[in-house]
Amino acid sequence: MNGPDDDDLDDGDAVVDEELEVGVEEDEDSAADSLPGATGAGMPSLDEDLEGSLVLDPDDFDGDDDDDEEDGEDDEEDDDEESDDEDSSDSDAEAAPKKTKAKRKDDEPEPPGPDVPAPSVKILREAMAWAFEKEDVDAVLLDLFAEHAHMMLEANRKVLLTNLLDPREVAAQHYLDSWRITQMMSLMGKHVVDLGTGGGLPGLPLALSEPHCKVTLTDMRPEKTDFIQTFLDKFKIKNVQVEGVRAELFLETTRVDSVLVRNVSSVRENVRTLRKVRHSLKELVMLKGASWSREVRAGEREAERLGFTLDTVWEHELPDEMGKRAILVYRAPGAL
């Protein structure tokens, strides 16, 4: 049998090549027809789609991802703008005190602070005279108040003992406010504990006013108790002792007549602080501001639960519109 000629093979190869090329073109056409939006014999045009009112099911696709990303980018841009605004505001706020400080230097002397010496004893003595102008008080007592205030403000440059720096504010809000306890209740022969005394307030003014009263000043911070002891040693004050412990620990082994609390916490939290040693005291005395009645109502249930009963409230007012004050006296379980 004779095989095919070379010419016949060449012609056959050419036919196969042509068929392959046609197949590739048909595949490309089919792929193009299958692409979204493509038009052809098997795919209606976009206009035909619209005319046929093609309805899409929203569950078949998620159209919010891109929007969420864009919203996120917008939020980030807004946050950046807000941050810029806050930075600008902070810068303005920081600049304002500098301007005020510069103005103060020109117009009046700066109040005492870390970089400014405390007022002299003479200036503080004049402030005491102003604060106690309408009170019947011994001049020697005001001298001791002025000495203590001077030492406290000097020490305040290293250790925070008070936020008040103006001499008259110190005289009225620290010493007059504390001293008025002695005008409301008798302290003679009593043992009083000052809870969290800080620089010695209010316990020290009471001890200086009533030498026949024993006062224990308690504070956990040694730098504060060291300052108080320095003052006691310098002026030979005998009816005051300083304990570098929490008042609750001191009361675990010692029974006293009164516990004083000033600028420590709310009525509710103060009675809770003393709940485990409430039988070691007869009365709890708290110095409060104008909103004292709100505190009393908020802590009433807790006070009654622990056996503290509100006995007396004495309201008074500080000079030069420095605010209304109140002295609250709670009868404690130890009085029973």
Domains of the chain: 121-335 (3.40.50.150)
* Nearest alpha-carbon partner for 268 in 200, 330, 317: 330
Distance between CA atoms of 198 and 222, rounded to whole angstroms?
10
Q: Look at the block and give the residue holding tokens 């040694």.
A: 222
Q: How many residues does the chain have?
A: 336
pLDDT (0 to 100) of residue 203? 97
pLDDT (0 to 100) of residue 114? 63
Distance between CA atoms of 52 and 46, rounded to whole angstroms?
10
Q: What is the pTM of this model?
A: 0.67
Measured N-to-C along each axis, helices 139-155 and 222-235 cross at an angle, to the nearest 10 degrees, of 140
For 213-245, b/e burial (b = at least 16 CB within 10 A) is: bbbbbbbeeeebbebbbebbeeeebeebbbbbe
pLDDT (0 to 100) of residue 332? 97
| CA-atom Rg of the chain in angstroms | 42
pLDDT along the chain (336 residues), means of 10: 46 45 46 43 43 44 45 46 45 43 46 72 98 97 98 94 94 98 95 97 97 97 96 97 96 97 95 97 97 96 97 96 97 91
Residue 336 makes CB contacts below 8 A (sequence gap 6+) with 307
Element spanning 214, H or E: strand 214-218
C-alpha distances out from residue 130 to 76, 125, 170, 202, Å: 58, 9, 11, 19
pLDDT (0 to 100) of residue 117? 85
